[in-house]
Structure 1
Amino acid sequence: MRILCYLVGAMISVPRRNAFATIIVSALCVLSPLAAKAQADAPASFVGAKVCASCHAPETALWEQSHHEKAMAVADETSVLGDFNDATLTHYGVTSRFFKKDGKFHVRTDGPDGSLQDYQIAYTFGVYPLQQYLIAFPGGRYQALGIAWDSRPSEQGGQRWFHLYPDQEIKAGDPLHWTGLNQTWNYMCADCHSTDLRKNFDLTTNSYRTSWADINVACEACHGPGSRHVAWAEAKASGAVTDASYGDLKGLLVPLRDQGGGHWEINADSGMPVRSGPPPISLQIDTCARCHSRRYEIAPQFSYGQPLLDSEQPSLLTADLYHSDGQILGEVYEYGSFLQSVMGQKGVLCSDCHDPHSLQLRAPGNQVCGQCHLPAKFDTELHTHHPAASAGSQCVNCHMPTRTYMMVDPRRDHSIRIPRPDLSVTLGTPNACNSCHTDRSAQWAADAVAQWYGAGRRLETTYGSVIDAGRKGLPGARSELAALAIDQSKPAIVRATAISLLTPFAGSITPEMATAYLGALQDEDPLVRAAAVDALDPFSVRDRLPLVTPLLSDKVHAVRIAAARSLASVPAAAFTPEQKVDLDRARGDLIAGEMASADRPEAHISLGAFYAQSGEFAEAETAYRQALLLDPHFTPALVNLADLYRQLHRDAEAGPLLQQAIAIDPQDAAAHESLGLLAARQGQLPDALTHLQKASELAPDNGHYAYVYAVALNSSGKTADALAALKRAHQQNPSSFEVLYALVTISRDAGDREAALGFARQLVEIAPGNRDAQALLGSLTGQ
């Protein structure tokens, strides 16, 4: 009865519980079976780890020693690991001092105005291999100090204070300064370090009232709100209600265990695992991915028991986050890597290798791999080519190499790939061999692998070479990307990345590209469908409408809102009444998702762009202005607002905004291009050329900037300079349609028919289905 009474009392508790409330609580406790049944039908709520611990003592004991339990804590003698006995650290002339005062932990360091001030540590954040510290600021904000404690043993270099940006002088006012926007705990860190985190940001007051059910990552962070499970436990104990009232999950929302009924077995001949029975049925990967992924929120709250893409949008294999072959580069955590792995594709779960409560491996060293991979075949010198018990004999060092983040935190790549030093030679990607043998070349490593494994070694073309070609815009990438996008043997994140990389080639659609777009829009995985919708942006509204409209009613949230954004500029009259209902719902979800991050200027930029596409210009201006209220130095907001004023023929208001953006960030290529175009519209050609040239120099990989600059040069009579700029841009962007088109027309008009003909043939090669390219070539050949 104790748990049930706790729950019912908590449900109706008020600051001053009166006698009547007490009578009601007592009556419900007496009628516990009825109360439990009511709780089974009620929306699930969070009960807290202490309630879970009353029945799950073994799991609680494991969890209490885990990093999850220590993810965040009130700063006190038991939680603080750092040296606060007048220790100091000097970084770029700023000496920070760590000390105790009145039994509290303090730091004296540079504040938001750059002056030294004393701050009390409110919370610890994390535990190993480093611990960070949170400091309370006005408006409910907590800022993460830029100096952390290295909690590793001293013999490993730990037990010291260190700066998280050791090679950068980050001054007050910079978003990366510990008092800046990008170090605000409420947005940047909070939702993955506490349970049932409610950010509670108030846009009108620019303040937070952030709350949580448990301060750390507790039971319900993974299992979901537990009130109905507690009601099941009470009902089960009393025998008053059967399990059927609560379903197979006993009142829980998230099926974390494998519900498929199968298991893994080792094939004695191959030494490899095979699945016995049906594939796994679980939301475990999606649940872990909520925090163990690089993603952004697309809904106000995480949807427990629903697919990840109902509330989060994971990042694809972009050049800033992953090497071209998919190996980790930026701080991406594990999800995006694991999706690429064969294990992830086959249905291996996180808990197959990790104990979900202690977070420790299921077995030490190679034994964890030996659960599924026959040790007699794989844990041998014949396979590893390294002495037993050496670093090179450890499975993870070859198949899961590390990359270090936050200075001291090495994390393993969970794509669990076969080392390919030959790809390092051709693509420049890292490989496990040279992560240990740092004094040797990639070619040396490739030769060693060839000697070990001979003709039977892995030499097949990987998606890395296709993604690399797509990133570089190589002409041959078009057909390879199209094939990769619909290759169902490849992971969904790879297919989604491939379709996204087709966008620069969208000026000319080949039959194989059309097949890829249609296939991706109908892909079984929502990550691919959402990416396919985004990839259609270069298409005309007329072409997009029949392709995207059906996805307004997609079963997954991320796909629906992608469709709403894609169709933002379509007039309402183009939709049937039924489609209009779907559109309105998807638009509402999109706006709500952006407002879930209303404390970030990027969300308002995204919302402003959506409103501008929809023709809701007043709302767009409000969104851009709101972004600037949150961060007056956010140059994308200034550039977007200036562009909105251009559309509204308010150039006089656009100029000062662009000048302000350049004053804030002289390296902002978009601001220079916009100001150059504004100057050109106002007849100020010298100023226009100055800014357009600057934009093309700042972003040499952006063919459009070079194209605009060259057109301006040619218009001013500087044809030779225009051609030179275009040729440089063509070398950098060989598949840029507009750069090649300009090379053809400007060469032709300058009287260099031979050069024009050569460029026209290249244009047809990169855009074989484009009528304009064909017509231009025909005009030069007389056909």
Structure 2
Amino acid sequence: MSASRQALRIAGRLVLPTGFLVLVATTWAVEVRPVANNAPSAPAATAPRPPLPPQLNGNPAFASSSACRDCHQGEFESWHRTFHRTMTQAASPENFVGRFDGSTIDSGGLKYQVFRRGDDFWARLPDPDVMLDRQRRYDHFARLGQATGPPDWSGIPEVERQVVMSTGSHRYQTYWVESARFSGTLMTLPLVWLIQDERWIPREAAFVHPPDGSRMVTVWNDHCIKCHSTGGAPRPFVNHDAAGQVAETGFQTQVGEIGIACEACHGSAEEHVALRRREAAGEAGLTELLAADPIVQPAELVDHRRSAEVCGQCHGVFIWSQQQGEQYRDGGGNFRPGEELLTKREYLFPPQEASFYANEQEQAEALAGYQRNQGFFRSRFWDNGTVLAGGREFTALAVTGCYREGTLSCVSCHSMHQSDPSGQLKAGMDGVQACIQCHDEPQYTTDLTQHTHHAAESTGSNCLNCHMPHTTYALFSAIRSHQIARPDLAGSVQHGVPNACNLCHLDQTLAWTQRHLVDWYGYEPLPMTTEQAQIAASLVWMLKGNAAQRVITAWHTGWAPAQAASGDDWLAPFVSRLLEDPYGVVRYVAEHALRKQPGFADWKFNFLAPPAELAAAGSEVRHAWSQGQTAAPSRTGKNVLINGNGQVVDAAVEWLLKHRDNRPVSINE
């Protein structure tokens, strides 16, 4: 069996997490091997490296982007504009966008004050070491089914910690402080600065996270380092005293560079830099060495899979085997761009169609693995197996026919250097042009309307809207699925996964969608419930669906193509119901979608207000919408729960809300 095939079936063979090394905060207290205390040797490159927080050490195998700049100024500048570069940054007034102005932020009854001392950034906060300990204990008992109520956050002493590093710079930025208990350990300052809104919020309010009172307490060294740095190695250690007792534990973490820098995609460059400097100095006899220069250009790799895997090292769902995890823990990752990624770690996929597997046994093992680890998969995938969590685009692409049977790779549409930093799309790759690179037959070009049944220039004839709908979630936004496929009616009918048709035609039912898919494309009709046949799918997902369905649909109510196709003057009273949602992220997305509805552009709302204020805000929106109607809205009827007089059928709305799917939902962005 090939290594690739073996990696694809890994979910069927192993139980998570006990079958694998899981790098969490408890690692150093359970099973760690000490690593050398010696400081890393200085690199050969003379260019000054980008600054690191004092808690992190340089990785001598990596030259850093500063060395690349000496010869590749243009590429350096185009990369320097990207959000990849600013993903992780050392503390400085230039890098931090949050206002450390003495403000005090309430986070579920816990108080956090952020302030500056000169050019240094500080926080006064509940002791993060105590917070981490209590959350870990709660998580342990929760896994055993023995947790009673939310964690106890009372009586935690207040401490001051210097803020030394940030993550993010696009939609929000979060921050890191050093542990006082574990040497070299960077822990969450559990606040997020919203860049557009210019406000602080609790970290839990920035993620789809069950509102159960638990906290998102994270250790950077063993979690974020994997993808938010270049050349990272956690390197936990334990030091003992003369009596053999544990005297000190923590991390001696190494990174080539914080942020996603040149060597993340092109490979570690210390050897390359030294070789090219020898060449520039006029040294002879370097022909063979230059021919074997290890630097990789992802767009020039002959095998499209190797190219996509460069991105897949971060943009995928994976775990390490015990051996792989130990190697990464102590020495960093063993993958170099250009190598076969699926031989270096284990990529996980939910059960797929039969053709995905070598035989029935593999398919059965995959299903068994999925059933054993449903919590893991549900935080990353929809129940029909499509990717839910943003940032996992390689996992989605890897099961797509365009990749498996064609030559589609990430660089077919994206570029790090010739693109807008927001999305990294090449020019023209936000529409039909992306697909007709390969699919150049007449039905996709000159006779497009025969295939799409929509006007040629309409958003309904944009291939991406039908085959890559916005059904993944991250960063307060719905994102295009990279699992390129036909509109999935069965996924909607059987699993409640929003489909492309009904996310654009918000006023239509699943039965309406089925009629068109049967007539136009020969779909097999599926049995439906009365609800699916008679009520617009968007309303069912928003009012009765789980948190993932609600947040995805809420975003689409503010999406211009959906408003153009469905009308935008009838949605506000239904979106208003999400202003009282138990999930802060759903409320936030609904708030911003509501501002795109007629009459609500300047509407003010605090999505973190107490429940009574949230309820009052929802009622205010419904009242304002009702009073603002000078004529019946553009959509009425049983399907949109608005009667002929233009009044919302409140009894039907309340029934859907009463039967809402309140399962706990986490989306592991």
Q: TM-score, normalised by structure 2?
A: 0.52
Alignment of 1:616-765 (within 5 A): none
Structural mapping, 1:270-349, within 5 Å = 280=303, 283-298=306-321, 299=324, 300=327, 301-303=332-334, 304=336, 305-317=338-350, 318=370, 319-320=377-378, 321-330=380-389, 333-345=392-404, 346-349=406-409
1:66 equivalenced with 2:82 (yes/no): yes
Instruction: Sort the Cα spacing of 1:109 and 1:447 in 2 relative to 1 into closer, same or farther, 3 A.
Output: farther
- Asked if structure 2 preserves the Cα contact closer than 8 Å seen for 1:302 and 1:312, the reply is no
2:319 alignment partner AA: Y
- C-alpha contact (below 8 Å) 1:72/1:126 kept by paired residues: yes
Query: What is the root-mean-square deviation of aligned Cα atoms in Å?
Result: 3.4
Deviations 1:699-740 (A, max 9, x none): xxxxxxxxxxxxxxxxxxxxxxxxxxxxxxxxxxxxxxxxxx
Q: Matched residues in 2 for 1:388 and 1:203: separation? A: 65
Q: Name the structure 2 match of 1:741.
A: none
For 2:161 and 2:60, locate their aligned partners in 1 and report how far apart those are by CA, in whole Å.
39
**Are the counterparts in 1 of residues 103 and 114 from structure 2 also a CA contact under 8 Å?**
yes
1:83 is displaced (CA, Å) by 2.8
Say if 1:343 and 1:402 are closer, same or farther in 2 by CA, change over 3 A.
same
Match of 1:703 in 2: none
1:339-378 map, 5 Å = 339-345=398-404, 346-357=406-417, 360-364=424-428, 365-366=430-431, 367-374=433-440, 377-378=443-444
SS in 2 for 1:145: strand
Cα displacement (A) at 1:107 = 3.3
Question: Counterparts of 1:119-268 in structure 2 under 5 Å?
Answer: 119-138=161-180, 139-151=183-195, 153=196, 158-166=197-205, 176-178=215-217, 183-204=218-239, 205-234=248-277, 236-237=279-280, 238=282, 240-247=284-291, 250-252=292-294, 254=296, 256-260=298-302
Partner secondary structure for residue 230 of structure 1: helix
Query: Secondary structure of the equivalent of 2:86?
Result: coil
Q: In structure 2, do the counterparts of structure 1 residues 259 and 220 end up closer, same or farther at CA, with 3 Å as the change threshold?
A: closer
In the TM superposition, residue 291 of structure 1 has moved relative to its aligned partner by 1.0
The AA in structure 1 aligned to 2:228 is H
Instruction: Compute the displacement of 1:404 (Å).
Output: 5.7
Quick one: distance in 1 between partners of 2:176 and 2:60?
A: 31
The separation in 1 between residues aligned to 2:279 and 2:296, in whole angstroms, is 20
CA distance in 2, matches of 1:234, 1:47: 13
The answer as to whether partners of 2:185 and 2:251 remain within 8 angstroms in 1 is: yes
| Residues 101 and 115, structure 2, Cα contact 8 Å, conserved in 1 | yes
> How many residue pairs get matched?
389
Give SS of 2:66's match. Answer: helix
Write the letter of the residue equivalent to 2:293: G
Q: How far is 1:353 from its partner?
A: 0.9
Query: 1:69, 1:218 within 8 Å by CA — same for their partners in 2?
Result: yes
- Identical pairs, percent: 26
Superposition deviation, residue 185 in structure 1 = 0.6
**Does the 8 Å CA contact 1:49/1:218 hold for their aligned counterparts?**
yes
What amino acid is aligned across from residue 133 of structure 1 in structure 2? Y
| Structure with higher helix content | 1
| Distance (Å, rounded) in 1 between the aligned partners of 2:159 and 2:93 | 23
Larger CA deviation: 235-244 vs 429-438: 235-244
CA distance in structure 1 between the partners assigned to 2:463 and 2:493 by the alignment: 23
Shift of 1:195: 1.4
1:402 partner SS: coil
Change (3 A) 1:243 1:403: farther
CA distance in 2, matches of 1:411, 1:297: 27
* Distance in 1, Cα, partners of 2:400 & 2:231: 30
Of stretches 435-444 and 282-291 in structure 1, the one that deviates more from structure 2 is 435-444
Structure 2 Cα separation of the partners of residues 148 and 332 of structure 1: 19
State the Cα deviation string for residues 172-198 of structure 1 (Å, max 9, x = none).
Answer: xx5x443xxxx1111110121111112
2:456 corresponds to 1:397? no
Q: Distance in 2 between matches of 1:376 and 1:226?
A: 46
What TM-score do you get using the length of structure 1 for normalisation? 0.45
Does the C-alpha gap of structure 1 residues 373 and 109 become closer, same or farther in structure 2, counting only changes over 3 Å?
farther
Distance change >3 Å, CA 448–CA 100, structure 1 → 2:
farther
CA displacement 1:298-333 (0-9 Å, x = unmatched): 421322153223432112214423235431134561
Judged with a 3 Å threshold, the aligned counterparts in structure 2 of structure 1 residues 325 and 177 are, in CA distance, closer, same or farther, namely closer
Kindly tell me: are residues 241 and 386 of structure 1, through their superposed partners in 2, closer, same or farther at Cα, counting changes over 3 Å? farther
Aligned-pair CA distance for 1:426 = 3.7
* Change over 3 Å in CA distance of 1:9–1:211 after alignment to 2: closer
Query: How much has 1:219 moved relative to structure 2?
Result: 1.1
Counterpart amino acid of 1:311?
K
If you compute each CA radius of gyration, which structure gives the higher value, 1 or 2? 1
CA contact (8 A) 1:201 1:210 kept: yes
Contact 2:185 2:220 in 1 (8 A): yes
CA displacement, residues 113-158 of structure 1 (integer Å, 9 cap, x when unaligned): 434444332111121122111111132111123321222x3xxxx3
- Take 1:420 and 1:282, find their aligned partners in 2: how far apart are those partners? 26
Q: 2:508 aligns with which of 412, 421, 440?
A: 440
